[in-house]
Amino acid sequence: MTSRIVFAGLALVSLVAVSACNKSGGSSAPPVSPAAKAEAAEIFSSRCTVCHGAQGAGDGPGSAGLSPKPRNFQDKAWQGSVKDDYIANIIKNGGGAVGKSAAMPPNPDLAEKTEVVNALVAHVRSLAQ
């Protein structure tokens, strides 16, 4: 009898552990098609790396004269401190729209391209180390 209760308890604990694991491990980011992912990668290297650097360290050639400088996207503490919506917003509307430096340019051509913006957000997230 006791062993049955212990077994049920163990099963419950492992169930809870599995679902907690899924929650933290699984990303809530919306799905992104391979085409949108490819477009976002192209946009990141053609538009963003000049300031943010290929690995997002904030060390692109265009960052030299900037103040404030673009931050290091590899910084996990920063990654954890911002929501996907915030990143999408600054990409679409620029730094000026969120109270940050206007040196971070808006990308009005992406305003309707939600999937590409989501893929860019995912790209920024992927740079965390």
User: Torsion angle, CA of 26/24/93/97, rounded to 10 degrees?
Assistant: 170
What token pair was written down for 38? 């490819």
* Binding range to ligand HEC, per CB under 6 A, among 1-9, 12-20, 29-37, 50-58: 50-58
**HSE value, Cβ hemisphere, 13 Å, CA-based, for 75:** 11
Member of 32, 36, 39, 52 binding ligand HEC (CB under 6 A): 52
Residue 76 in the binding site for ligand HEC (CB under 6 A):
no
What token pair was written down for 47? 């538009």
Residue 105 in the binding site for ligand HEC (CB under 6 A):
yes
Binding mask 5-44 for ligand HEC (x = CB under 6 A): --------------------------------------x-
Please give the single-letter amino acid code of residue 31: P
